[in-house]
Amino acid sequence: MGRRRKDDSHEYGRSSRSGGNRRGGNSRSGSQSGGLGSGGASGTYRFYENRNASSGYGGANNGKNYVNNTNGHSSSNQYLYRQNKNDYSKFSSGTGLNGSSYPSRNLYSPSYDLKTGRFQTDESAVYPNRSAGASKAGGGIVSGGRKLLRNVYGKIDYQFLAVTLILVAFGIIMLYSASSSRAYMQYNDSLYYMKGQVKGLILGLIAMFITSRLDYHVYLKFSVAIYIFAGALLGLVLIFGTTTNGATRWLFGFQPSEIAKFAIIITCSAFLYVYQDRLHLFFKGFCPCLILAGIYIILLALEPHFSCIILVFLTTILLLFVGGAKWKHFFIVGVPSLVGGIIMIVAEPYRMQRLMSFTNPFKYIRDEGWQVVQSLYAIGSGGFFGVGLGQSRQKYMSLPEPHNDFIFSVLAEELGLLGVIVVIGLFAFLIIRGISIASKAPDKFGTLLVAGIVGIIGFQAMINIAVVTSTLPATGMPLPFFSYGSTALTMTLAEIGIVLNVSRQRRLI
């Protein structure tokens, strides 16, 4: 081991044996100047933690410079007032063995500046005490000589971005393969669906770039406006929307339901973040999120859009779970939700027929079981290596919606079990990386946002694959990044950008 330095380096000064210090540094003799207690240091001060549980970094008697001083900062939810009078940092604290207060682990996140509306990331950012002689690039929080974590801003999660781009590229290729024959027959243009999807891709990449650079806390300020805007679009589609196959889901060339899925994530995440102290209460903490989702569900039921209803409900439940709601509240809501789902299925004859055909699709092969049977034929024909890219036979007028809900069946036929494993693995990796980003988000709002976005992508993928393999009744659930839909692709990529922005501000543990 190397020889210990005689003086410990800090961002704002050094500790010396003689008691001399600079800008908030502390001395072994206990003399000091500047810092939080005295107000002598200029600029934004930094947080420090105890090296041990019984004293501050420089001892119990020189705590004025440190958060562990008992200068009115011992309560669990307080705002530290910074010297620039514009920056507040919310933290939780506890009590050490010597009776002094110390911050808990969730303090160690980038400080949020209300004036600039973003986390501080330069030298005035909140970084806990670094070890002796540690550089700015490699320094981290040190407690008793042990490195806990460090804050990082500016680096996106490149693994998450890479798997997203791979899925997008894979989806574009499979969409052309699945849609070219049908597009040529219907529109005399084999690239008809591809052109629409590429437009959505271009808009989506632009949106992803913007949202990846835009601090995600801005959605916290406009969450109510986003919710009202999406709700108004759902109302307008019922009046001015275009009806296709018995459902009114299109408004001026796009689907407002895609914006509604995004809005419910933003709004519920904002509510659970702002009112997290109410979450243990059923009516004041748990029910408001269900009411927000319920309004959308009613509007979606009038279209009708059953698959989107499922996604909105599942995403809301997921956010409540991640937010820390009590288990008993889920059970209280579970029974009415089950009854409501049964009523919705029975209320529409086509849904009841789909449910009956699910039990034995070959018995209803000429009716509701037709698409599931053709899907199983396609999957079974693929074998392990598939029949070859572009060589599917079921897509030629046998498989309904080969470019949309049943594109996974075409993929399984052309690329076989090997291709299926690769696609499922990519989605699994996307979800795993998303969970990692959510767990290292700088605050609860970031965690909830990422959980909701990654969760809704995962729900869509799982339900779509389950439907085409006859594991679940047919619901018309598209496969993210693969199924045709420019609005869906644009919104999904925009949401991916939000996840990337959260990853820019992640904590490295």
Beta bridge partners of 254: 251
Beta bridge partners of 26: 32
Q: CA-to-CA distance for 69 and 39, rounded, in angstroms?
A: 14
Q: Which two tokens stand for residue 468?
A: 């085409």
Q: What is the pLDDT of residue 84?
A: 36
Query: Average pLDDT, stretch 405-431?
Result: 95
Q: CA-to-CA distance for 257 and 491, rounded, in angstroms?
A: 11
Q: Helix, strand, or coil here: 88?
A: strand
Q: Helix, strand, or coil here: 269?
A: helix
Note the pLDDT tens digit of each residue in 494-506: 999 999 999 998 7
Find the range with the poorest average confidence among 13-17, 236-240, 283-287, 482-486: 13-17
| Whether the Cβ atoms of residue 378 and residue 412 lie closer than 8 Å to each other | yes
Identify the CA nearest to 260 among candidates 221, 301, 220. 301
- If one compares 130 and 438, the residue with the highest pLDDT of the two is 438
| Whether the Cβ atoms of residue 102 and residue 50 lie closer than 8 Å to each other | yes
Q: What's at 34, amino acid-wise?
A: G
Q: What is the pLDDT of residue 73?
A: 38
Is the confidence at residue 5, as pLDDT, over 60?
A: no
Beta bridge partners of 150: 508
Q: What is the pLDDT of residue 450?
A: 96
Is the confidence at residue 163, as pLDDT, over 60?
A: yes
Q: Helix, strand, or coil here: 228?
A: helix
The reply to whether omega before 473 is within 30° of 0 (cis) is: no
Q: CA-to-CA distance for 313 and 337, rounded, in angstroms?
A: 9
Note the pLDDT tens digit of each residue in 184-231: 888 888 899 999 999 999 999 999 999 999 999 999 999 999 999 999
Question: Alpha helices, DSSP H only, in 360-443?
Answer: 370-382, 407-439
Find the range with the poorest average confidence among 55-69, 147-161, 427-441: 55-69
Q: CA-to-CA distance for 276 and 322, rounded, in angstroms?
A: 11
Q: What is the pLDDT of residue 372?
A: 86
Q: What is the pTM of this model?
A: 0.69
Q: What's at 57, amino acid-wise?
A: Y
Which band of pLDDT confidence, cut at 50, 70 and 90, is reported for residue 507?
low
Backbone Cα Rg of the chain: 28
Using alpha carbons, list the distances in angstroms from residue 302 to 100, 229, 234, 248, 348.
59, 18, 10, 8, 12
Q: Helix, strand, or coil here: 446?
A: helix
Is the confidence at residue 157, as pLDDT, over 50?
A: yes
Is the confidence at residue 79, as pLDDT, over 60?
A: no
Burial of 342 (0-12, 13-18, 19+ CB in 10 A): exposed
Delimit the domains of the chain by residue range: 1-151, 158-508
Which band of pLDDT confidence, cut at 50, 70 and 90, is reported for residue 15?
very low
- If one compares 328 and 266, the residue with the highest pLDDT of the two is 266
Using alpha carbons, list the distances in angstroms from residue 60 to 46, 93, 99, 393.
18, 17, 10, 78
Question: For all residues of the chain together, what is the average pLDDT?
Answer: 74
Note the pLDDT tens digit of each residue in 349-366: 777 777 777 778 887 787
